[in-house]
Each structure stands twice: as structure tokens, then as C-alpha cells.
A and B are shown apart, each in its own frame.
Chain A
Amino acid sequence: DSGVTQTPKHLITATGQRVTLRCSPRSGDLSVYWYQQSLDQGLQFLIQYYNGEERAKGNILERFSAQQFPDLHSELNLSSLELGDSALYFCASSDRGGADTQYFGPGTRLTVL
């Protein structure tokens, strides 16, 4: 158990809908990272927040957005969902902003029908 929690574990929704994934980092960690892992694309870095501020951006679509709240938990919002958004979404946390050792949560499996 890495200490990073993610909810929900599974999410099934329809195309065009909007969902919110939630992540609570390890106690004391200030950085949160979001990743998408699909079968055909491997692990893709989406975005990083450090102490409430956006720190780095990867291959995140405009339909996706994220934020980190004062209590350091983070939410990833996915809107206008498409079939291709079906994937495993991981959250990771680290204690610093330099993307060093990251501890991964169990992931949220999103299925878009």
C-alpha cells in the first residue's frame, strides 16, 4: 500500500458525459501527478500540481482539467468523454516538486461506452 488513495476504483459512463476522479496523496506529500494508461499508449503523463499550483503539463487534452485543493487532494475532470478515453487513470504523489520518487495510487479504471 503506497498511501495514495484514489476513488472511485471503477467508473462506467457513456460518451459525452463528464466525470471526476479523486486522489488523496500520501501524508506530507505536496506534489500530485496524474497519468493515463491505455493498452495502446502505455503510461502517459498528464499534469502535475505542487502545493496547489500547476507545475508541469504533459499530454493532457483540453477536455481534461485538474486542480489541487488546499488540503492537497486533487481532482481530475474529464468532459465530453469519448470511447478512446477509456483507460486506467493513476495518481501519484511525491514530497517535492522535482518529480523524483513517485508513489502511485491503485488507479481508477474508466470505461466509456
Chain B
Amino acid sequence: EDKVVQSPLSLVVHEGDTVTLNCSYEVTNFRSLLWYKQEKKAPTFLFMLTSSGIEKKSGRLSSILDKKELFSILNITATQTGDSAIYLCASNTNAGKSTFGDGTTLTVKP
């Protein structure tokens, strides 16, 4: 059975801190790994990763995939209160199936 595990489950930091969120996966016929941010509504897309070692970057957020060790990390630098959310990692297969992790709840205090 496909499995995605995220750690930590929750994290509390102060504004300006840097955080690293982890996602490990065990998936048959892996195609891509996606990161989403979920606030009080639907998840919004952050990154899609398909190749190992290539960092994707968007402002203060960045992510990288290691297909040999089967994990990905999401980094957020200079955190702001607006970064407070649940961050979801999902693995996708060539057959079109998505498996989500339980998410990491990030709280950024002023």
C-alpha cells in the first residue's frame, strides 16, 4: 500500500525563523511529489517535483526531492505569520493515484 509520512506533525516557531518540513514516501510507480499549503480552505499548490536534486524555489519557499532515499523537504526561510497553515505532501503515481500525508501544522508566532 502506498504511504506518505510527514514530520513533524506540528511546529511552532517565531517570525524570522527558518523551518524544514519533511516528507517520506513509499509508492509504487512513482511519478511526482507535490507540496500544498492549506489554510482554512482548499489546498493550494506550492511545488511539483519529479527529478532528484533539482531545487524548486518560490520566494522564501524551496523544495527538493531525493528519489534514491525517497523523501522531500520543504524549506521556509524568514517565516511570517501568514505562513501559518497545514503543509501537505502528496505522492502521485503513473496510474493517476494520489496519496497524501497527514500534514505538518506550522504556527508562526509574532
Contacts and interface: CB of A to CB of B under 8 A. Distances in A.
Interface of A: 2, 31, 33, 35, 42-45, 48, 50, 55-58, 90, 97-107
B103 A42 contact: yes
B100 interface: yes
Given A43-B88, A100-B48, A102-B34, A56 B96 contact: yes
Instruction: Tell me whether chain B's interface is mostly helix, strand or loop, or mixed.
Output: strand
Interface in B21-46: 31-32, 34, 36, 41-45
B39 to A, nearest CB: 12
B56 interface: no
Interface string B95-106: 111111111000
B62 to A, nearest CB: 17
Instruction: Tell me whether chain A's interface is mostly helix, strand or loop, or mixed.
Output: strand
B100 A42 contact: yes
B96 A31 contact: yes
A107 B39 CA distance: 13
B98 A33 contact: yes
Contacts of A103: 45
A19 to B, nearest CB: 20
A42 B4 CA distance: 12
Instruction: Among A44, A56, A105, find the residue whose CB has the most chain B CB atoms closer than 10 A.
Output: A56
7 smallest CB-CB distances across A and B, nearest first, come from: A104-B42, A56-B96, A99-B92, A43-B100, A56-B97, A55-B96, A42-B102
B29 to A, nearest CB: 11
Given A56-B95, A90-B42, A106-B42, A100 B31 contact: yes
